[in-house]
A and B are shown apart, each in its own frame.
Chain A
Amino acid sequence: MDQSHIRNFSIIAHIDHGKSTLADRVLQLTDAVAERDMRDQLLDSMELERERGITIKAQAVRVHWKGHELNLIDTPGHVDFTYEVSRSLQACEGALLVVDAAQGIEAQTLANAYLAIENNLEIVPVVNKIDLPQADPDSSAAEVAELLGGHPGDVLRISAKTGQGVEDVLDAIVERIPTPSGDPDAAPRALIFDSSYDQYRGVIAFVRVVDGSFETREALRTMATGTEFEAEELGYMSPARVPMKALTAGEVGYLVTGLKDVSTLRVGDTVTSRRRQATKPLPGYKDVKPMVFAGLFPTDSDEYPALRDALERLKLNDAALFYEPETSQALGFGFRCGFLGLLHMEIVRERLEREFDLDLIVTAPNVAYRVQRRDGETVEVHNPAEMPREVEKVEEPYVKAAVIVPKDYVGDVMGLCTEHRGRFDHMEYLSEGRVMLSYELPLGEIVLDFYDQLKSRTRGYASFDYDVIGFREGDLTRVDVLVAGEPVDALSLVIHRDFAYDRGRLLVERLREEIPRQMFDIPIQAAIGARVIARETVKARRKDVLAKCYGGDITRKRKLLEKQKKGKKRMKQVGGVEVPQEAFLAVLNLDSEKKR
């Protein structure tokens, strides 16, 4: 199709501000989906996505409106997927910025709006949910106009739920969003903005064709990773796959690649033809690296192979997921996994537990550390237990965080950020009652309990977003927890020196409560290197004996002993001490308890 009749757009919104409802309504109005096939929030295909009200994987749908071809590119709605969002936005010329008429602008709205502006997108502001009794469309429209530097009158006011104003949105897309401007005759280039894995057809790439055109059966290659494949099939989504002969400049569609590994096809990479190779890739490709790490261990060691298989399968659809085998003396065999962020971690964990029916122990999350050793060599450390004890310096990832709150909570948020080693950057009033605070914070402070505390200290009013801005040196130290003189690998942590003492104290106290008394005293210590910073003792039992045992009792007493023996076998041995798995769980859950 002629590029002048194509419009490519995304919808950006905070969670629950109505992005998916609006998308559904657009599909319905344009007859892309028959009424009877309509299922709420059609774009969110995974069970978990629907349940959490968030979109994890972006997809694209083509609809037709008044002689135009509109491609709606859905974007993931969360902070951990900023890079994916930015690629989705790069595939568009415009975006609908949807704001809840009752809530106004939230941190994610802001982050994504800035991303859209950076990508030179034409933004069509929309205030949604005007049918709600508590809606304040004027105030929300004013906030949005202030943010974008336009007039409140240009802000569309709709209810995606009732359908009110949605046709105006479609008209605005055609009228306001620019047409694609690639060169239809140049060597073909297409941006991969998402991929998924189909068990019959392999990896399917979602692409935006920028220049030239692609044909079925054409030999293709990605420019950053150099992966070669054939377009076994190409076409567009409506929302089911509709095969075509070719995808041309300006269009959005899919490529069936036949590849078996999603990691060979990275979001942000450029696809070109092997016969007519482009010389320059499209800008902005980044090799996304996991920043948050945690150990995942099956509660039942027999489930290790099942966990491995499950991770393999998740990885098929999630190029950002990283994992490698890890052996913990305390928790047995498992995997050290890397995630884009906390939500990504939560999603992976929930999918493993729900879709694969696994019972998991997850160690406290930590970030990636850049460590310069005494010998000058720099290494990246993903596991506190592997942090060298002697280091020249340690760098940790920092983020720029935006917190939006009603102004009454500014003090609470500032206190929280300061406690978490935050450095104040700036503050601005979004409207009379609402403030955006900008802080630079170590990511390591955020991964533990920051978000939960933020929510509780602001009674849930705060919204929060962050972006990794680089590595900085920190006064970080490794703290080990020792049971009977032996370090428990799963409980080692890297922490700022100022917090080491309190944290160590808390860990050993909790562990003392959880380890059952045994036949000898058990010292529990927290230590930095050889220096003990906290110590507790589980006192030995003084008596553990079956009171009497005569001819009539022998079978029963033997069974009691065998039961006692079995109970011990379920415990993990650390330093010659039986530690029940629950003890590790309790210590690993310290943070989730603290917020209560």
Chain B
Amino acid sequence: MAGVRHLYVHLPFCAHRCGYCDFVTLVGKHGRHERYVEAVLAELELERPLLAERVETVFLGGGTPTFTQADALVRLLTALPDAAETTVEANPETVTPEVAALLRDVGVTRVSLGAQSFQPQLLDVLERRAGPDDIRRAMHTLRDVGFDNVSLDLLYGIPGQSPSDLERDLAEALSLAPEHLSCYELEAKAGTRFTHAWGAKLERQAEAMEGYFERVVETLADAGYRWYETANFCVSPERAGGRDLRARHNLGYWQARDYVGLGIGAVSTVAGARWRNAPSLGGYLEALERSAQPPREVEALDDETRARERLMLGLRLDEPLELDPSLERALDQSELDRLCSRGLIDVAGSRGRNRFIRLTARGRPLGGGVTAAVLA
């Protein structure tokens, strides 16, 4: 019994594919939503032995989960295990009062809104369907039906985005008082339509945008948010009546816990094995309709690799990471000393006990380089 307590479900359907997106998504396919949900539930049945009796978090990601046909979505959410945190990703234009109420009624506790920007011209560059008003309206709609844990996704480093555009985006987001914010630098991923169109411009802007990350961190910290993960912020407990508003599901990833992922392209990591379902819809439906495992790629994670991952993930958090012997072995101690002396990492500990490690405020924006350096 593996006792996995985190469950991810991938809902790939979208009204339209945004240029920069490299997730597993499918446009339209209304006819297949129901069949897909049934297949996911069949996969859940196959994997149920891996799950703990009480699942802690459920996360519906996409795609655009809220684009899924309402009855199929209700069917899915009703059938999924109850959890302390159930998050659904939503695009603002899909958040109608009906959908909002439906989500509330089937036990969703948290909504993650893909806002990305509040500047119409930047939303155009991203090929987002929602305008700034849609974002604000979606937020109000969610509040109206009673959601008290909403996250906004913001992107920075968008082609043409000026420092004042960034400031306006942050101010707009803060004015909506979300409990949680995820701020990502736009990545021009190789092979996307977006990179083809904007890659060169992004490269030219790279140096000018180098300070955007710092800007985001400073602005949100000033507004009382806790920078608890490299790209994630939540209202700090003292301003939230003691509530821990970190994304519990994602925290599970960063704390290197096991998780089960359902749906096409979804990844699971359980007891030293990681598998990814093939991204093809047809193959997935076909297999699960005969209650067979969908096509998968499996990767075995040896102890060393897991230790490296625990470091890589753990160093993204603001909380110190406890260094057990296997983590100590995964570290290049002389590099660690060097970066400590450079003020990029803090190591604390007392004799005979495990040490604790975390990146300093100066080290966190350089987390990739620092982590690469200290890995043995």
Known A-B contacts A546-B368, A547-B185, A552-B267; the reply to A561 vs B250 at CB < 8 A is no
* List of A residues within 8 angstroms of B313 by Cβ: 549, 554
Q: Do B365 and A545 touch (CB < 8 A)? A: yes
B316 touches A549 (CB 8 A): yes
Say which one of A167-175, A246-254, A536-544 lies at the interface with B.
A536-544
Closest beta carbon of chain A to B273's beta carbon, Å: 12
Tell me which residues across on chain A come within 8 A of B276, comparing CB atoms.
Answer: 552
A552 (CB) vs chain B CBs: closest residue? B267
Q: Which secondary structure characterizes the binding site on chain A?
A: loop
B211 touching A542, Cβ below 8 Å:
yes
Interface centre among A550, A554, A562, A565, by most chain B C-beta atoms within 10 angstroms, is A550
A276 CB within 8 Å of chain B: no
**Contacting pair A550 B299 (CB below 8 A):** no
- Residues 529-572 of chain A, each 1 if its beta carbon lies under 8 Å from chain B, else 0: 00000000000011111111111101101101110110010000
Complex Cα distance, B268 from A554, in Å, reads: 11
Query: Is A519 located at the chain interface by the 8 A CB criterion?
Result: yes
Residues 356 to 373 of chain B near chain A (Cβ within 8 Å): 363-373
Q: Is A299 among interface residues, defined by CB-CB distance under 8 A? A: no
- Knowing A558-B305, A558-B312 are in contact, say whether A545-B253 is a contact too (CB < 8 A): no
Known: A548-B184, A555-B274, A561-B368. A542 touches B213 (CB 8 A): yes
**Does A576 sit within 8 A of B, measured CB to CB?**
yes
Determine the residue in chain B with the shortest Cβ distance to A551: B253
Would you call A545 and B373 a contact (CB within 8 A)?
no
A561 touching B253, Cβ below 8 Å: no
Interface residues on A, range: 20 to 34
The interface residues of chain A lying within 8 Å CB-to-CB of B186 are 547
Q: Which of A519, A552, A558, A568 contacts B366 (CB 8 A)?
A: A519
Report B332-376 residues with CB < 8 Å from chain A CB.
338-339, 342, 344, 363-373, 375
Q: Is the CB of B231 within 8 A of A519?
A: no
User: Is the beta-carbon distance between A561 and B371 smaller than 8 angstroms?
Assistant: yes
Given A518-B369, A544-B366, A551 and B259 contact (CB-CB distance below 8 Å): yes
A520 at the interface (CB under 8 A from B): yes
Q: In the complex, what distance in Å separates the CA atom of A557 from the CA atom of B254?
A: 13
Q: Looking across the interface, which residue of chain A has its beta carbon closest to that of B24? A: A552
Query: In whole angstroms, how far apart are the Cα atoms of A519 and B210 in the complex?
Result: 13
Encode contact with B along A21-36: 1 for CB under 8 Å, 0 otherwise: 0000000000000000
Shortest distance from the beta carbon of B206 to any chain A beta carbon, whole Å: 10
CA distance A182 to B29 in the complex (A): 106
Per a CB cutoff under 8 Å, which of B214, B230, B344, B367 touches A542?
B214
Residue of A544, A545, A551, A560 with most chain B CB atoms under a 10 A cut-off? A551
Kindly count the residue-residue contacts between A and B in the assembled complex, taking CB atoms under 8 Å apart.
107
- B213: nearest residue on chain A (CB-CB)? A543
**A552:B261 contact, CB within 8 angstroms:** yes
Q: Are A554 and B259 in contact (CB under 8 A)?
A: no
Q: Chain A residues near B265 (CB, 8 Å)?
A: 552
A565 touches B253 (CB 8 A): no
Complex alpha-carbon distance, A546 and B370, angstroms: 11
Tell me whether B369 and A519 are in contact (CB under 8 A): yes
Q: A519-B339, A547-B231 are in contact. Are A554 and B269 (CB under 8 A)?
A: yes
Chain A residues with CB below 8 A from B130, complex form = none
Q: Which residues of B contact A564 (CB under 8 A)?
A: 368-369, 372
Contact with A along B27-54 (1 / 0, CB 8 A): 0000000000000000000000000000
CA distance A544 to B369 in the complex (A): 6
Q: Measured between C-beta atoms, what is the minimum distance from B321 to chain A in Å?
A: 15
Is B194 part of the binding interface, using a Cβ–Cβ cutoff of 8 Å?
no
Q: Mark B302-328, 1 if CB is under 8 A from A, else 0.
A: 000100110011001000000000000
- The answer to whether B210 touches A542 (Cβ under 8 A) is yes
Interface 0/1 of A508-535, CB less than 8 Å to B: 0000000000111000000000000000
> Which residues on the A side are within 8 Å of B274 (C-beta)?
554-555
Known contacts A519-B344, A544-B369: does B375 contact A561 (CB below 8 Å)?
A: yes
Which residue among A518, A544, A545, A557 has the maximum number of chain B CB atoms within 10 Å of its CB?
Answer: A545
Q: How far is the CA of A555 from the CA of B344 in the complex (A)?
A: 25
Does B56 count as interface, using CB distance less than 8 angstroms?
A: no
A-B residue pairs, 10 tightest by C-beta: A544-B369, A564-B372, A545-B367, A547-B185, A552-B267, A565-B372, A545-B368, A547-B184, A544-B366, A544-B368
- Supply 18 further A-B pairs (C-beta < 8 A) apart from A549-B313, A558-B312, A568-B373: A520-B344, A543-B213, A543-B365, A546-B230, A546-B368, A547-B184, A548-B230, A548-B231, A549-B230, A549-B312, A550-B253, A552-B276, A554-B253, A554-B274, A555-B267, A561-B368, A562-B375, A565-B375
* Contact surface of B with A, Cβ cutoff 8 Å: 8, 182, 184-187, 210-211, 213-214, 230-231, 250, 253-254, 259, 261, 265-267, 269, 274, 276, 299, 305, 308-309, 312-313, 316, 338-339, 342, 344, 363-373, 375
Residues of A within 8 A of B (CB): 518-520, 541-552, 554-555, 557-558, 560-562, 564-565, 568, 576
